[in-house]
Amino acid sequence: MNTSRGVILVSGASSGLGRAVAQRLAADGFRTYAGARSFASGAKPPSGCLGLPLDVLDEASAEQAITHIIDKEGRLDGLVNCAAFLTFGSCEETSAEELQAVLETNFLGMARMTRHVLPIMRRQHYGRIINFSSINGVLGIPFQSAYTASKHAIEGWSECLAQETRRFGIRVTLIEPGDCRNGSQKYRIIAKAAHEESSPYAVYFQGAVQQITHDENIGMPPDRVAQAVSKVLQSQNPPARRLGARPDQRLAAFLHSILPGRLFYRIMESYYAPKKEKK
């Protein structure tokens, strides 16, 4: 396996974007460690990758994974934080426990992994950290409040991280993908209360989920995002953030930055409304 481009750890590499990223990096010549909980129970890692049991919710698991890589390789050049899941539901009907579960994986899991690699990268005076945000980290989408909150947290935390660690030769990049195809339904959960037909949000929730599902089905291929990650890792001057999305989603991000809030909310509400309300 060619290691000339460095040693990289990808979390959340069992499916979806994480798996696509790990496989692309291995194909592009990185010595790639693919981390996920399922690799402890015999699941196969992406092609060309070294599978590594990793639970981003567990301090001991995170530390053991990093220690294993350093013992084997003597260095760690990059960390790509992909581990995440999504819960659909209104703000009112997403319980504190459901919100906490999303934040613990998407945000705190990312922060945990990053904290464990920083001492190593500081000693090396070199490192690349790529944190997966989302277009949800740029703007809010109805009935994705927990996921959106986690991605906004990642955006802010990563900006602080980038400023604090630049002097140590560490570069931080936010990847902000839009909808992608072939996402694992295992990591798309519906809040318990959202299943109730008596919910005051039921009709609007169903309309939004239908639109979201459609957008995912026509979304970008995961490898397109994976290629962007590979380019960032190979760049001498990596960007602070990279938005990877369809033109209409790029337009939405632009409009979010220039339109009055109330007007933008009306546009989004109309887009995700039930079909009969769109006529």
pLDDT at position 278, please? 53
Distance CA 277, CA 279 (A): 6
pLDDT at position 192, please? 85
The pLDDT tens digits of the residues spanning 141-200 come to 999 999 999 999 999 999 999 999 999 999 999 999 999 986 655 657 888 888 778 899
Q: What is the CATH number of the domain that holds 229?
A: 3.40.50.720
The pLDDT tens digits of the residues spanning 74-121 come to 999 999 999 999 999 999 999 999 999 999 999 999 999 999 999 999
Distance CA 138, CA 144 (A): 13
CB-based contact 9:78 (threshold 8 Å): yes
Segments forming the whole domain that contains residue 75: 7-278
Helical segments of the chain, H only: 16-27, 59-73, 96-103, 109-124, 145-165, 202-217, 222-234, 247-258, 261-271, 275-278
pLDDT at position 41, please? 86
| 3-class SS letters over 117-172 | HHHHHHHHCCEEEEEECCHHHCCCCCCEHHHHHHHHHHHHHHHHHHHHHHHHCEEE
Determine the longest span between alpha carbons in the chain, in angstroms.
61
Q: Given 134, 151, 201, 230, which residue is catalytic?
A: 151
Distance CA 245, CA 257 (A): 16
**Does 17 fall in a domain?**
yes
pLDDT at position 187, please? 57
**Does 2 fall in a domain?**
no
Q: In Å, what is the CA distance from 250 to each residue of 215, 223, 243, 254?
A: 13, 19, 8, 6
For residue 123, is pLDDT > 90? yes
Mean pLDDT of 244-256: 93
Q: Given 15, 61, 145, 147, which residue is catalytic?
A: 147
pLDDT at position 275, please? 75
- 87 bridge partner residues: 189
Mean pLDDT of 3-11: 87
**Does 204 fall in a domain?**
yes
Look up 41 and say whether it is catalytic. no
pTM: 0.92
Look up 257 and say whether it is catalytic. no
Q: Given 11, 14, 199, 230, which residue is catalytic?
A: 14
**Does 12 fall in a domain?**
yes
**In the chain, what percentage of residues exceed pLDDT 70?**
95
pLDDT at position 185, please? 59
Residue type, 90: S
Q: What band does 1 get if pLDDT is binned at 50, 70 and 90?
A: very low
- 172 bridge partner residues: 129
Look up 271 and say whether it is catalytic. no
**Does 31 fall in a domain?**
yes
**Does 120 fall in a domain?**
yes
For residue 279, is pLDDT > 70? no
Angle at 18 between CA 250 and CA 215, to 5 degrees: 35
For residue 277, is pLDDT > 60? no
Name the average pLDDT for the chain: 93
**Does 1 fall in a domain?**
no
**Does 237 fall in a domain?**
yes
What letters, b where the CB count within 10 A reaches 16 and e where it falls short, cover 86-124?
bbbbbeebbeeebbebbbebbbbbbbbbbebbbebbeee
Look up 14 and say whether it is catalytic. yes
- Phi and psi at 237, nearest 5°, equal -130, 75
How many domains, in total, are found in the chain? Answer: 1
Place of tokens 């994986």: 105
Count of residues making up the chain? 279
pLDDT at position 197, please? 81
Q: Given 15, 61, 90, 133, which residue is catalytic?
A: 133
The contacts of residue 125 (CB under 8 Å, 6+ apart) are 168, 169
pLDDT at position 151, please? 98
The pLDDT tens digits of the residues spanning 22-46 come to 999 999 999 999 999 999 888 899 9
